[in-house]
């Protein structure tokens, strides 16, 4: 892929992260917690995938994206372990809410993750723009 195509894909993924975060907030406002958790995960996923694309790390599955993120960014200290745990938590909640019968996530579980996901995505944006101190 050419550099301009990579940059366009990164911009697209960051835009999807922003839009999906907005969807999560809508779901938060109407108390649809399973869907809110799903949208939070996808917002974070799009941001992480933009970072992976920049550094030429490719995964075909969500579990692969999570593994690459942990390997190249969390374990190396580029992002905090707290951010790694947040991404894993969002991944797990999305799995539970989407695929396990009779799971009903609640405000107490999901609501604190909204602002944390906003900060997470801002961290990824800073990494992509070359800011230090992550």
Task: Tell me which DSSP letter residue 56 carries.
Answer: T
The reply to whether 104 falls in a domain is: yes
Element spanning 41, H or E: helix 33-54
Task: Look up the CATH number of the domain holding residue 81.
Answer: 1.20.120.330
The reply to whether 16 falls in a domain is: yes
pTM of the model: 0.94
Task: Tell me which DSSP letter residue 101 carries.
Answer: T
> Which tens digit of pLDDT belongs to each residue from 14-38?
999 999 999 999 999 999 999 999 9
Expressed as residue numbers, the domain containing 71 is 3-129
Kindly report the length of the chain.
134
Give the other-Cβ count within 10 Å of 71's Cβ. 11
Counting Cβ atoms within 10 Å, is residue 17 exposed (0-12), middle (13-18) or buried (19+)? buried
pLDDT value of residue 49? 97
Domain tally, the chain: 1
The reply to whether 134 falls in a domain is: no
């Amino acid at each position: 892929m050419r550099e301009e195509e990579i940059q366009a894909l990164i911009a697209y993924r960051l835009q999807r992260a922003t839009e999906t975060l907005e969807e999560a907030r809508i779901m938060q406002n109407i108390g649809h917690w399973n869907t809110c958790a799903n949208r939070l995960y996808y917002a974070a996923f799009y941001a992480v995938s933009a970072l992976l694309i920049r550094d030429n790390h490719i995964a075909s599955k969500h579990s692969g994206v999570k593994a690459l993120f942990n390997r190249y960014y969390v374990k190396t200290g580029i992002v905090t372990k707290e951010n790694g745990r947040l991404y894993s938590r969002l991944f797990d909640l999305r799995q539970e809410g989407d695929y396990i019968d009779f799971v009903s996530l609640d405000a107490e579980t999901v609501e604190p993750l909204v602002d944390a996901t906003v900060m997470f995505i801002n961290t990824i944006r800073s990494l992509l723009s070359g800011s230090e101190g992550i």
